[in-house]
């Protein structure tokens, strides 16, 4: 893995260890809980708006796992290249 990509992942993992990140994810969880209700939906347009909001919140909530998976994949590809 080149230095730039290694620094990219390192910066994210440093972020994920902070109290601020954990606090943000707590807020995201609260927002997901509030938005994930059909009962509170006024109309079809509101339903699609909520769906978009939930997509953004779920992406943010899953960002740490996505970065872990991407880094592992990049390392695996490097190991395959080294074996050739």
Residue position matching structure tokens 């992406």:
59
More confident call, 71 vs 37: 71
The total domain count for the chain is 1
Max CA distance (Å), the chain: 59
Residue 31 has pLDDT above 90, yes or no: yes
- Quick one: 62 exposed, middle or buried, by C-beta within 10 A (0-12, 13-18, 19+)? exposed
Q: What is the mean pLDDT of the chain?
A: 93
What's the confidence (pLDDT) of residue 84? Answer: 61
Kindly report whether the global pTM for this prediction surpasses the value 0.95: no
Q: What range defines the domain where residue 36 resides?
A: 3-83
pLDDT for 48 equals: 94
Quote the CA–CA distance of 58 and 56 in Å, as a whole number: 6
Average pLDDT estimate for 37-45: 89
């Amino acid at each position: 893995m080149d230095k730039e990509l290694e620094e990219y992942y390192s910066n994210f993992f440093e972020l994920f260890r902070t109290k601020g990140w954990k606090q943000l994810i707590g807020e995201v969880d609260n927002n997901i809980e509030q938005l994930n209700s059909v009962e509170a939906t006024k109309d079809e347009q509101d339903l699609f708006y909520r769906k978009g909001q939930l997509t953004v919140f779920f992406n943010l909530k899953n960002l740490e796992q996505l970065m872990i998976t991407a880094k592992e994949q990049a390392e695996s590809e490097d190991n395959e290249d080294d074996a050739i």
